[in-house]
Amino acid sequence: MEPDRRPSRKATLSALGSWILLLCLFWAAPEAQGVIYVHQTPLTFVWTASSGSVDHYNVYVSVDGGAFRQASEVREPSYRLDALDGRRYVVQVDAEDGRGNRSPMSDPSEEVVVFLGGSASDTDGDGMPNVWETSQALNPYDPSDALFDPDGDGLVNRDECRAGTSPSKADTDDDGVSDSLEVGRGQNPLDAWDNRPTARAGPDQDVDPTVVTLDGTASSDPNGDPLTFAWSQVSGPSVQLNGPATPKPTFLGKKQGEYRFRLVVSDGKAQSLPDETVVRVRNVAPTADAGSDQVLDAGTAVTLDGSASRDPNEDPLRFSWRQVQGDPVRIQGADRAKASFVTWNSGVFRFELVVCDAELCSAPDPVQVVVHGTNHVPTAVAGPDLTANVFETVVLDGSASSDPDGDALEFLWTQVEGPEQVALEGSVEAKARFEPWKAGLYRFELVVTDGENVSPADSVTVTVLEANRRPVALASAPASARVGDWVPLDGSGSYDPDRDPLTWQWSQVRGTRVTLAGADSPVAGFFALQEGTVEFELVVLDRQVASSPARVSIVVEGANQVPTAKAGEDRTGVPGERVCLDGSESFDPDPGDTLAYSWVQISGPRLTLEGARTPFPCFTASQAGVYSFGLTVSDGRASSLRDTVDVRIQSPSGQDPPPGEPDEPHPPRPARASSSSGGGCAVAAHARDGSDPGVGEWGQIAVLFLPALVWLACLKRKIRESS
């Protein structure tokens, strides 16, 4: 990045990178910065001598704003100028050696205004010299014009005189900022550079071949004005610059070399000095590509193809093929992208390709050629790379190995890498096993043979992790449910083999969306609101790994309907006969529901009901009477209303015996008959309601004669007591 080349605000000159010191006297007020007023002549300019080999200095002078013209050649770092009254002088110098080589031109000095004799007088005492007032069309005899501001820039004429600015031009240096603002900011109103924007092209970069981004976002404008950008390439391999009018253009740098770019910014009023940045693209070693492995028969011409090799810098490549395994063969074109050879010997041949640019070479890239003779070489396949945990059994599977001739194969597994040497079980079989005790990378090689030829080795890598085993998710739920049911999802049987704490994640994966309660709990659940099949998935985690998902499906059927009990028709029988009831006509409106039966005896002499939980219970009554039974059925969610059936057991004579004790007797209706004697014997008889099951004609007769019989018994007892 180039240094800032803006002129200094101080009265200095730059020669060969050194600073010049202007020695002069100040006439004007001390705050004057752009112009120096002096009232004597001659003037002497002195600068620091260059440290290089200097034959002489060339001095250039501008008078009254005119072009710089060479005024003198001096051997010493100073110049004496005979000044004229009222003239304005600016000086520049450069250095020249004895062979005519010149340094860059110095920055201009500040303007020196000379007042000699009467020209420095101030007739009206307004602080402005007569010659300055006259040059600016002011009246040197009118002190009031010192306070006028004809250009409206905020500086009165006296301030304009002291600043060296024009009283008739608000922006003397045309930098877009008024004289008064620059004076107020401490800037130089005669120096346009102090308000120009500054370009910053960003730091230099050293990169490999890639897309490079230039960054000019650090560019700035002292007044905060928006900037426009203009990037251009100065030197280096030619590239296409994308977005040269943006702060951050890009280009594709491939070729090795130094790329120099220049940035100029503008605020619409002034342009910045250019700033440059350098991008150095390094030379990167090329990459060799020896092509794919090949399998062919003896006597066939073999082509080794390295044309896919590449150089990131797009440099031309040199090729070098060499044989590293197998019976020696003669390689044709070993220094070309494509080489070839022919062999009549069977076996495994290995070659390496190295490519180089002018400076660097690639790493060798191998290629393998299997040449079959009468008996073809078998192929070993060690299987895909594996990942396991410590203490787990790892199975190496070489069963995909093959022999082109269909010959039987023999296997040999060998460990070639790993943090420990493992005990390989079945190392001469298609599948070998081992149990790692340490975490790390284990690599094994497999070779197979058909008894004559041995295959090239194939390898498999096993990555063994620390002993964190995957947790196991176990989920269960009812296979079916009814609309309106609460359906539980149970994952409490999930476990971690390492006994790590688990977290649960239930999610719905199929069916009409439901609101799942307890989705992060072992047991979740939902209300079934719509018919259909819904499916849920459970995953458990042990803070490191997640289980395989476990899924459950629930078939949601319509709302459950109450079943109906049918206890069958009333029937009759005789004592000692086996009677069976029939509830088989009971039904459930919901297809597929299974009914549970529950029979109970309601009335009649107590008996044993066999099969009370079946549709066909049976009993044997030992005495006559009316037996009443009730049936209730249930589908597991709702129970039916009770249905009843009566069985009348009659004696062979057709008359019912006295009733027994029913489970649920009817309430008695009394029919009173009583008598008493002097001895206090009282009898009361209660007749049962004639409608009560089990009371026949004999029972009614017994009730009518019972009071008389009781009275006779009491009378007999009284007679016995008297005698």
Instruction: Tell me the three state secondary structure of residue 538.
Output: strand
The DSSP secondary-structure symbol of 651 reads -
193 token code pair: 């550079």
Does CATH number 2.60.40.10 belong to domain 571-649?
yes
Average pLDDT across the chain, whole number: 83
* Higher per-residue confidence, 552 vs 484: 552
Please check the confidence at residue 9 and state whether its pLDDT lies above 80.
Answer: no
In the predicted structure, residue 32 carries a pLDDT above the cut 70: no
Q: Report, as an integer, the average pLDDT of 552-569.
A: 91
Distance CA 366, CA 485 (A): 69
Work out the pLDDT band at 526, boundaries 50, 70, 90.
very high
| Whether the model pTM is above 0.75 | no
Mean pLDDT across 104-128: 75
Which CATH topology does 386-465 take?
A: Immunoglobulin-like (2.60.40)
Structure confidence at residue 132 (pLDDT): 84
- Alpha carbon distance 309, 613 (integer Å): 87
DSSP class per residue in 384-426: S-EEEETTS-EEEE-TT-B-TT----EEEEEEEE-SS----BT
410: tokens are: 């023999």
Question: What is the pLDDT averaged over residues 496-505?
Answer: 91
Domains 205-281 and 571-649 alike in fold: yes
Rounded to an integer, the average pLDDT of 45-72 is: 84
Write the CA distances from 390 to 156, 393, 435, 471, 498, integer angstroms.
91, 8, 7, 15, 12
Average pLDDT rounded to a whole number, residues 53-60: 90
When pLDDT is averaged across residues 214-229 and rounded to a whole number, the result is 92
| Selection from 326, 449, 434, 443 nearest residue 380 by Cα | 449
**pLDDT (average), residues 287-312:** 93
Is it the case that residue 587 has pLDDT exceeding 90? yes
Range with the lowest mean pLDDT among 81-90, 334-343, 435-444, 692-701?
A: 692-701
Confidence grade of residue 702 (pLDDT, cut at 50, 70, 90): very low
Its sign, for the CA torsion 6, 10, 13, 17, is negative
Q: From the CB of residue 28, how many other CB atoms can be counted at a distance below 10 Å?
A: 19
**DSSP assignment letter at 592:** T
Give the per-residue pLDDT at 26: 27
Residue position matching structure tokens 């999802």: 489
Task: Using alpha carbons, select from 157, 155, 105 the residue that is nearest to residue 135.
Answer: 157
Burial per residue of 504-543, b for 16 or more beta-carbon CB atoms within 10 angstroms, e otherwise: bbbebeebeebebeebeebebbbebeeeeebebbbbbbbe
Which is more confident, 269 or 679? 269
pLDDT confidence bin for 128, thresholds 50/70/90:
confident
- The class that CATH gives domain 294-372 is mainly beta
Whether the CA torsion 536, 540, 546, 548 is positive or negative: it is: negative
Least trusted range by pLDDT, from 172-186, 211-225, 519-533, 581-595? 172-186
* pLDDT confidence of residue 656: 53
Domain ranges of the chain: 130-185, 205-281, 294-372, 386-465, 480-557, 571-649
Handedness of CA 332, 338, 342, 348 (dihedral sign): positive
Query: Which pLDDT does position 691 carry in this prediction?
Result: 37
pLDDT tens-digit map of 646-698: 999 998 765 555 544 444 444 333 333 333 333 333 333 333 333 343 334 44
What beta strand segments (E) does 418-559 contain? 431-434, 440-449, 458-465, 480-482, 486-490, 503-510, 523-527, 532-541, 550-557
pLDDT at position 603, please?
Answer: 94
Q: What is the mean pLDDT of residues 54-76?
A: 88
Residue whose structure tokens are 């009993």: 619
User: Out of 2.60.40.350, 3.40.30.10, 2.60.40.10, 2.40.160.40, which CATH number does the structure's domain 480-557 have?
Assistant: 2.60.40.10
| Non-local CB neighbours of 543 within 8 Å, separated by 6+ positions | 500, 501, 503
| pLDDT tens profile 411-426 | 999 999 999 999 999 9
Q: Between β-strands 275-281 and 294-297, what pairing exists: parallel, antiparallel or unpaired?
A: unpaired
**pLDDT tens per residue, range 419-477:** 999 999 999 999 999 999 999 999 999 999 998 889 999 999 999 988 778 899 999 99
Q: Name which residue leads in pLDDT, 59 or 24.
A: 59
* Model confidence pLDDT, tens digit, residues 111-122: 787 766 554 577
Percent of the chain scoring above 90 in pLDDT: 53
Q: How many CB atoms lie within 10 A of CB 640?
A: 20
Residue 453 to residue 430: CA distance in whole angstroms: 17
| Mean pLDDT confidence for 123-142 | 84
- Check pLDDT > 70 for residue 345: yes
Q: Which of 647, 645, 644, 629 is nearest to 575 (CA)?
A: 647
Give the whole-angstrom CA distance, residue 619 versus residue 13: 136
The predicted structure's pLDDT at residue 390: 87
Summarize pLDDT for 358-413 with one digit per residue, the tens: 999 999 999 999 988 777 889 999 999 999 988 889 999 999 999 988 889 999 99
Per-position DSSP letters for 157-215, written without gaps between them: HHHHHHHT--TT-S-TT-SSS-HHHHHHHT--TT-GGGGS-B------EEE-SEEEE--
- For residue 485, pLDDT over 70 is answered with yes
Average pLDDT for 527-533 = 91
Is residue 676 classed exposed, middle or buried when 0-12, 13-18 and 19+ CB atoms within 10 A define those classes? exposed
Kindly report the CATH number that applies to the domain delimited by 205-281.
2.60.40.10
As a whole number, mean pLDDT of residues 180-200 equals 79
**Arithmetic mean of pLDDT, 22-42:** 46
**211 CB neighbour count, 10 Å cutoff:** 11
Q: What is the dihedral of CA 387, 388, 389, 392, to 10 degrees?
A: -170
